[in-house]
């Protein structure tokens, strides 16, 4: 293993922060797997999974069983991890600006195309050569992108670690949640085995969620490149880029971390990036659904929140899912589902104000447009 320390600029007078990337296997071996944890900083289950992955990768590297270079960032966001308020971590947003650390990643399709078209002959009938040319143009575009603050510098750094990977796994967690994942429609056939090994209860698909999240910055950029050049030049499918939600913030245990890390290694064995016996594919707990089909519940009034549905349960149309109890009058407002699907995430704070998000249920039919992910 080789540890590479990447200092972050713009972090404030008299302070220093850096991102540590751990490299396993041989570089330039033809395959690359990129894994990062806790982009939303206080996602502790994801960090613990990353420590288990590190242990497994050290063993596999010593045994000569890695068939890909693996780059692991166990703490992808030291900026957010250093934001605390009255004893609680505040890692989802940059406190100085309110920006979400997993939104508005650079989508550099236009810059990539401009660089490739500037010099005729860059692309050919060789799909591997075209992949390398796209990656080179992408790297140049990332390096040319100016960063004026720590937020932008972190995003550029993470993109530079991942843009040339064949598999990109972004490890997160939610507030309270069942195991679930987000990926692109085109990534799903290759990502489905991962969902099976993880026992993912909900799998939310979107070509473009409108959020420019980290996983989409990889897969959607490649999709647009293929749409632009594909009629003339063969293009690879791009990376399998997936956001994995390792349940809720309090779901921190050695047993769960070990199971999740083992599932990821089973997937990498399935893809041929680890030399070993491929495990049989488990059943998929629930079919994949469009992200646009998920029903998102919001509080119509303030009050005590009572959950009426179990995480991971199949919800029927008309089933009560939340009660809001007025603490002064005792009046109860019940919210029922308009969708049949799985309750895959919900709020952890048991008091709400009007408009607060309460939870989400998957759905098979698109019912939302625009920004499909939350703030």
Measured CA to CA, the distance from residue 163 to residue 329 in angstroms comes to 55
pLDDT tens per residue across all 375 residues of the chain? 999 999 999 988 888 999 999 999 999 899 999 999 999 999 999 999 999 999 999 999 999 999 999 999 999 999 999 999 999 889 999 999 999 999 999 999 999 999 999 988 999 999 999 999 999 999 999 999 989 999 999 999 999 999 999 999 999 999 999 999 999 999 999 999 999 999 999 999 999 999 999 999 999 999 999 999 999 999 998 999 999 999 999 999 999 999 999 999 999 999 999 999 999 999 999 999 999 999 999 999 999 999 999 999 999 999 999 999 999 999 999 999 999 999 999 999 999 999 999 999 999 998 888 887 876
Stretch(es) of the chain classified as CATH 2.40.50.100 = 294-361
Token digits of residue 283: 């059943």
In this predicted model, what pLDDT tens digit does every residue of 288-336 receive, in sequence order? 999 999 999 999 999 999 999 999 999 999 999 999 999 999 999 999 9
pTM of the model: 0.97
Give the β-pairing of 332-336 and 320-325. Answer: antiparallel
Out of 3.30.2290.10, 2.60.40.1180, 3.40.630.10, 1.10.10.10, select the CATH number for domain 2-271.
3.40.630.10
Measured CA to CA, the distance from residue 177 to residue 154 in angstroms comes to 27
In this predicted model, what pLDDT tens digit does every residue of 257-278 receive, in sequence order? 999 999 999 999 999 999 999 9
- With left for phi above 0 and alpha for psi between -120 and 50, is residue 363 left, alpha or beta? beta
Among 196, 168, 201, 181, CA closest to 266: 196
- CATH 2.40.50.100 at 294-361, yes or no: yes
DSSP state of 282: P
């Amino acid at each position: 293993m080789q540890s590479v320390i990447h200092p972050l600029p713009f972090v404030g007078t008299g302070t220093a922060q850096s991102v540590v990337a751990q490299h396993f296997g041989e570089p330039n071996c033809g395959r690359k797997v990129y894994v990062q944890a806790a982009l939303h900083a206080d996602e502790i289950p994801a960090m613990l999974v990353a420590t288990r992955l590190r242990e497994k990768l050290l063993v596999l590297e010593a045994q000569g069983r890695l068939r890909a270079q693996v780059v692991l960032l166990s703490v992808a966001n030291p900026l957010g991890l250093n934001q605390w308020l009255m004893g609680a971590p505040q890692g989802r947003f940059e406190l100085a600006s309110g920006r979400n650390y997993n939104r508005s990643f650079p989508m550099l399709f236009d810059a990539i195309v401009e660089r490739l078209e500037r010099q005729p002959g860059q692309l050919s009938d060789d799909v591997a050569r075209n992949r390398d040319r796209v990656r080179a143009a992408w790297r140049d575009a990332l390096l040319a992108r100016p960063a004026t603050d720590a937020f932008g510098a972190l995003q550029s750094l993470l993109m530079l670690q991942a843009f040339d990977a064949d598999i990109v796994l972004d490890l997160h967690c939610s507030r309270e949640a069942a195991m679930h994942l987000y990926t692109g429609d085109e990534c799903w056939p290759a990502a489905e085995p991962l969902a099976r090994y993880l026992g993912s209860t909900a799998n939310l698909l979107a070509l473009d969620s409108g959020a420019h999240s980290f996983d989409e910055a990889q897969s959607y950029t490649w999709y647009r490149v293929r749409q632009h050049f594909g009629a003339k030049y063969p293009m690879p499918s791009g990376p399998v880029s997936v956001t994995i939600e390792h349940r809720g913030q309090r779901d921190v245990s050695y047993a769960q971390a070990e199971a999740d890390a083992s599932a990821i290694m089973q997937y990498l064995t399935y893809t041929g990036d680890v030399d070993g016996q491929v495990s049989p594919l488990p059943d998929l707990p629930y079919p994949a659904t469009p992200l646009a089909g998920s029903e998102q519940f919001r509080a119509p009034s303030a009050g005590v929140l009572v959950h009426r549905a179990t995480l991971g349960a199949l919800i029927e149309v008309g089933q009560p899912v939340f009660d809001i109890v007025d603490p002064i009058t005792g009046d109860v407002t019940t919210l029922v589902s308009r969708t049949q699907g799985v309750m895959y995430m919900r709020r952890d704070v048991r008091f709400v104000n009007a408009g607060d998000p309460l939870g989400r249920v998957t759905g098979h039919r698109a019912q939302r447009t625009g920004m499909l992910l939350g703030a």
